Amino acid sequence: MFSIGELSKRTKVKVPTIRYYEEMGLLAEAERTSGNQRRYDKTGLERLSFIRHARDLGFSIEAISSLIELQEHPDRSCETATDIAVSQLADVREKIKRLKLLEKELIRISKGCDGQGISEDCYVLASLADHELCSREH
C-alpha cells in the first residue's frame, strides 16, 4: 500500500492532481486508514501511471476516461482506443502546423530589429502593437 505522497513520488504526479483525478473518477477512491489517510494499492499506482503517460501525450481528461472505460472491459474491440489516438495525433499535427507558422512570424519580427535603436523605433514592439504588420494570420 502506498500513501498519497509515495504515489506522488513514484509517478511524479502532484498530490492535488491525484486528488483531482479521484474526484473526476479517473482514479478509484483510495482506501482510508484509521487516521483517514489515503492508501493506494498496486492497481492505483498502475492506473495513475497510465493517466500520467496519457496526459504527457496530450490526451484530454475525457479521452482518458474513455480509454480507462475500454481498459476495464478487455473483451471489447480496441477500435475506440485507436480512434482516440488517431484524433490526438491529428490535434498534435495541427498544433505543430500552427507552431511552425508562429516560428516563421517570430523569426521575421525578430529580424526586423537589430536591437541597437531606441524602443520608440523598435520593430518588435511595433509589430506586437499592430497586428497589421504581421505577414499572415496566426
Q: Report how far apart, in Å, the C-alpha atoms of 103 and of each of 20, 56, 107, 135 are.
A: 35, 23, 6, 12
Based on the domain organization, do 62 and 17 belong to the same domain? yes
Distant-in-sequence, close-in-space partners of 123: CB < 8 Å, separation ≥ 6 = 109, 112, 113, 133
Q: Report how far apart, in Å, the C-alpha atoms of 91 and of each of 88, 96, 104 are.
A: 5, 9, 20
**Range(s) of the domain holding residue 127:** 93-133
Based on the domain organization, do 12 and 45 belong to the same domain? yes
Based on the domain organization, do 55 and 101 belong to the same domain? no
**Strand ranges in the chain using DSSP code E only, listed in sequence order:** 31-32, 38-39
The pLDDT value recorded for residue 84 is 96
Q: What is the pLDDT along the chain (138 residues), one digit of tens a residue?
A: 889 999 999 999 999 999 999 999 999 888 888 888 889 999 999 999 999 999 999 999 999 999 999 999 989 999 999 999 999 999 999 999 999 999 998 888 888 777 787 877 788 888 888 777 677 776
The pLDDT value recorded for residue 138 is 66
Residue 106 grid coordinates: 517570430
Distant-in-sequence, close-in-space partners of 84: CB < 8 Å, separation ≥ 6 = 59, 63, 66, 67
Based on the domain organization, do 72 and 98 belong to the same domain? no
Identify whether 107 is part of a domain. yes
Based on the domain organization, do 44 and 71 belong to the same domain? yes
Q: What is the pTM assigned to this prediction?
A: 0.78
Beta strand 38-39 with 31-32 is antiparallel
Residue 124 grid coordinates: 518588435
The pLDDT value recorded for residue 34 is 81
Identify whether 9 is part of a domain. yes
Based on the domain organization, do 44 and 69 belong to the same domain? yes
Whichever domain contains 14, its CATH number is 1.10.1660.10
What is the tally of structural domains in the chain? 2
